[in-house]
Amino acid sequence: MTYEEICKRFDHHPPRCEQTAELHALVRAEVKRMAVALNEQLPGDREKSVVFMKLEEVLMWANASIARGCCLCVQPTLPPNAC
């Protein structure tokens, strides 16, 4: 794994523009909407707990995708070996 790959995985990726911040908010709202709907429909058992754990995982990976690879904004040019 290269240093750049490590940086991409572990550095903080703040929203680069308003569109990126809005996309994060949209994803959070959609996952929350699904969580509310499922909470009302599913019985309170172990499987429901797994569903909510996986929804948290969906949110985490969706936000990581946006933060690490979103092309809505022009990305600043970084010098070599910079994260």
Which residues have a Cβ under 8 Å from the Cβ of 7 and sit 6 or more positions away?
83
Residue 27 is classified by DSSP as: H
Per-residue model confidence (pLDDT) at position 30: 95
CA gap 28, 31 in Å, rounded? 5
Query: Model confidence at 82, in pLDDT bands (50, 70, 90)?
Result: low
Q: What is the pLDDT of residues 5-22, one digit of tens each?
A: 888 887 878 888 899 999
The values of phi and psi at residue 45, to 5°, are -125, -175
pLDDT over 70 at 32, yes or no: yes
Q: What is the DSSP string of 40-79?
A: HHS-SSHHHHHHHHHHHHHHHHHHHHHHHH--SSPPPP--
C-alpha span between 30 and 24 (Å, rounded): 10
Among the residue ranges 47-56, 58-67, 68-77, the one predicted with the least confidence is 68-77
